[in-house]
Structure 1
């Protein structure tokens, strides 16, 4: 190997021992964190949403079937006739609670305690305190989730929140700014 390329660590019995590629440069000392870009964060969020839906889909579908299985539509008046099963409504509500409970745990508490939701873990992103680089903590993670959820009640708030990283130098959402957190590549 030529000395002009940086050397990479060799691991025992690694058949694909890393070799430098032309033009490779080591990261400059003190370069700081690499902030996670908008698209990778969107991908992580989509994955998290799909996982939450997958967790809650069974009780929601069962609840819908139970609640509305006796309903019929009168072909003449287009009115619904029959009864709604209260047990089905209860199962439907439980499905909604499962969805929100999982989402709070995954995007709130898990980000606070581990720095990553399941989606962020899959795409290689961590959310950390902006000042120290430490994890937020479970309570602060939940509060971060709550602030992000709260932007949904402000007209265009959620849209502005999720688009903010496109123009921010540290690629922070508004709820990241409120909570003094950043998302970095891990």
Structure 2
């Protein structure tokens, strides 16, 4: 069945929603580059201060600037641009899921992808309840997904 001119493509009714486990796996994969850069910056620029016999690790100066700069570039490239324009971040592509506008197979766009990331703050506020919400929501949505009308599908 073809869509009328100008109508967005509709998601296949047989296209299942992404499971909570796949979403968690995608998030962990997306975090790997940031963790690796942090540990490299820590090895090169980190300091351990022990004035009272305890140890405290600090990343400051050039190391902190390097880490935060690279983490920001990665976030913009992976989450805002890549996920926004294709529906898949590196982690989502690896596990075979995508974020689309509700009821379509269209990516949500860079702006909504950025906004959705900020809205994940609401998922964490009530003791992380929003991150667990997909476990019992019939469309496997977080609070952020509900607000921006996005859905995670298996592709």
Q: TM-score scaled by structure 1?
A: 0.65
Q: Is 1:169 aligned to residue 151 of structure 2?
A: no
- 1:58 corresponds to which of 16, 31, 40: 40
Structure with max Cα Rg = 1
1:141–1:79 CA distance, 2 compared to 1 (3 A): closer
CA drift of 1:155 comes to 4.4
User: Following the alignment from structure 1 to structure 2, what is the Cα–Cα distance between the partners of residues 182 and 42?
Assistant: 15
Give SS of 2:61's match. helix
What is the 5 A alignment of 1:36-185? 36-64=18-46, 68=47, 73=50, 78=53, 89-148=61-120, 150-151=121-122, 154-156=125-127, 159-185=128-154
Bigger relative contact order, structure 1 or 2 (CA pairs below 8 A, ≥6 apart): 2
User: Following the alignment from structure 1 to structure 2, what is the Cα–Cα distance between the partners of residues 152 and 176?
Assistant: 10
Deviations 1:56-75 (A, max 9, x none): 432243221xxx37x6x56x
User: Following the alignment from structure 2 to structure 1, what is the Cα–Cα distance between the partners of residues 96 and 123?
Assistant: 26
Gaps of 5+ in 1: 1-29
User: Following the alignment from structure 2 to structure 1, what is the Cα–Cα distance between the partners of residues 70 and 18?
Assistant: 29
Whether the aligned pair in 2 keeps the contact of 1:44 and 1:123 (CA below 8 Å) is yes
* Equivalent in the alignment of 2:8: none
Deviations 1:32-87 (A, max 9, x none): 421001111111111111232124432243221xxx37x6x56xx6499xxx9x9x
Deviant stretches of 4+, over 3 Å: 77-80
Number of residue pairs matched by the alignment: 142
Whether the aligned pair in 2 keeps the contact of 1:110 and 1:141 (CA below 8 Å) is no
1:117–1:175 CA distance, 2 compared to 1 (3 A): same
User: Following the alignment from structure 1 to structure 2, what is the Cα–Cα distance between the partners of residues 79 and 49?
Assistant: 29
User: Following the alignment from structure 1 to structure 2, what is the Cα–Cα distance between the partners of residues 61 and 180?
Assistant: 42
User: Following the alignment from structure 1 to structure 2, what is the Cα–Cα distance between the partners of residues 79 and 132?
Assistant: 55
Whether the aligned pair in 2 keeps the contact of 1:52 and 1:103 (CA below 8 Å) is no
Q: TM-score scaled by structure 2?
A: 0.77
Gaps of 5+ in 2: 1-11
